[in-house]
Amino acid sequence: MYPRSFNDSNGDGIGDIPGIIEKLDYLKQLGIDIIWLSPVYQSPNDDNGYDISDYQDIMDEFGTMDDWEHLLAEVHKRGMRLVMDLVVNHTSDEHAWFVESRKSKDNPYRDYYIWRAPKEDGSEPNNWASSFSGSAWQYDDMTGEYYLHLFSKKQPDLNWENPTVREEVYNMMRWWLDKGIDGFRMDVINFISKHPDLPDGKIKEGKKHASGSAYFRNGPRIHEFLQEMNEKALDDYDVMTVGEMPGVTPDWAQEYTDPKNNELNMVFQFEHVDLDSGSGGKWDLRQLQLTDLKENLSKWQYALQDVGWNSLYMNNHDQPRMVSRFGNDGQYREKSAKMLATLLHMMKGTPYIYQGEEFGMTNVQFEDIHDYRDIETLNMYKEKREEGVPHEEIMQSIYVKGRDNARTPVQWNDREHAGFTTGTPWIRVNPNYREINAEAALNDPQSIFHYYRQLIDIRRREDVVVYGDYELLMADDEEVFAYTRTLNEATLLVICNFYDGAPTFKLPKTLHDHKKHLLITNDEIGDELSEELTLRPYEARVYKLTR
């Protein structure tokens, strides 16, 4: 959940904790078990709350600690759980630790962060790029040294080599756990261990800075740090942990989530949401090939079949809207949204539903760059304009990949500002809210919302969805994504037409003699399953097969 855009209770245009409480019955009706709350801690909001200035206080815009404690109680009263965002790769530069750290080279807090002297020519200690454009180093006049920031210059990286830093983090985690939270989603947690030498990266042609990811993703002490975190902060509590891990591989994910290693319960990985990026990175748009998506999702299904656990998602607060990116947000918006949900929810792993996904919210296209709020988007725009790239060309990339696509306010109804606020929203509402909103979805028994409820119910009823082995069918087909899940004598058959054509699905001969029961479909069809069938645009079917 992204609180800033969820629901505003007091008319200041910013979503808040009391606003979340107002919508808990809606979330309960949807059928979710766990709410993951993006950061609500005290923050100057350079990166929308992911720059934390006080880990043990609530951002004024979101409410008070009393409000938060009320939220936790109301979540638990409804039989749901609350997972907090843990952002400990970096803090805000306004955190008390960093304020002290920059005062002098011998300050007790100096070693809480990663400081380095300039090179002889005064330049940065290495050539690493920030994820938000430009150098990953910021010069500080007060002591004449640079500090590392893998993200915004207002997000200095913590020095996890310092055992005192680690103990501070574990103390903070225990403080929240003692309040009764049910776990942590750990932001870029595989970045916390850096190669001690901080070597230069390889600069690509035409770039000013290099990716340093080889020296901080899955770094040399990452397993040690995660195991220590469990030992000192997590092991005494019945909680869930999920690690956001850019660049993680299936082999790494097995290690991170293997119970015997005592590190994480599951991972967030990003390979499938990078398949429509060209060699130039995120903003370099390329057409997604379905065979690439099938190969990638299947790779993860197979790799974590016996050991490990994966997160299932196609959008979140950092990714554009699923139905716009992977489906058809025009004529087939509802049908393609249901198809994509079917594809994900029947796989092995834990499905994550991002606010508004459950009724088919879409990407937004603001013509004016000043209507955008995301620091990554604004920095990229500025950098590209300085390079001479036309406004229109940059905006096309933003329309497809910008993070603000996911951050426009939740569209609750067709009234002013989509019912999100009685004031002026912090970011403009998507203009299509009059047609696409939660109220309309709740009142339509055939809506995406009620389809999600059915999918969630199937996961709860059918053990094969949770535990069954995965097998991809028709691997080379460019239109159909089909697979089976098998547990003992039960087989789940999932058939998804990814586009608006009419491809043919052929039932494998090994399944011909099975009894076939239709569990769910997004189309008007009978219960029958022939050995060969022609699919309709964006059609999805799930059958339970038994001998």
Residues with Cβ within 8 Å of 43's Cβ and at least 6 positions away in sequence, in order, are 49, 50, 51, 52, 53, 59, 92
Q: Label each residue of 299-315 as H, E or C.
A: HHHHHCCCCCCEEECCC
- Token reading at 130: 């920030």
10 Å CB burial of residue 121 (0-12, 13-18, 19+) is exposed
Give, in degrees to the nearest 5, the angle at Cα 74 between 70 and 80: 135
Write the CA distances from 244 to 86, 118, 493, integer angstroms.
Answer: 10, 32, 30
- Token reading at 304: 């974590």
Q: Which amino acid is at 365?
A: Q
Scored b (16 or more CB within 10 A) or e, 40-69 reads bbbbebbbbbbbbbebeebbebbbeeebbe
Cα dihedral across residues 354, 356, 362, 364: positive or negative: negative
Write the CA distances from 414 to 137, 408, 431, 434, 436, integer angstroms.
Answer: 46, 15, 10, 4, 8
> Which DSSP letter does residue 234 get?
I
Closest by CA position to 185, among listed 73, 62, 76, 87: 87
Spatial distance between the Cα atoms of 218 and 255, rounded to a whole number of angstroms: 11
10 Å CB burial of residue 191 (0-12, 13-18, 19+) is buried
Query: What residues are labeled active site?
Result: 187, 244
Write the CA distances from 32 to 27, 63, 81, 451, 534, integer angstroms.
Answer: 6, 24, 9, 13, 34
Helix (H, G, I), strand (E, B) or coil at 256: helix
Residue spans of beta strands (DSSP E) within 59-158: 81-86, 115-116, 137-140, 145-148
10 Å CB burial of residue 418 (0-12, 13-18, 19+) is buried
- Token reading at 15: 């979503």
Write the CA distances from 186 to 96, 163, 190, 247, 266, integer angstroms.
Answer: 22, 19, 9, 15, 10
Spatial distance between the Cα atoms of 542 and 484, rounded to a whole number of angstroms: 9
Q: Which amino acid is at 383?
A: E
Helix (H, G, I), strand (E, B) or coil at 36: strand
Spatial distance between the Cα atoms of 429 and 508, rounded to a whole number of angstroms: 47
Give, in degrees to the nearest 5, the angle at Cα 511 between 507 and 517: 90
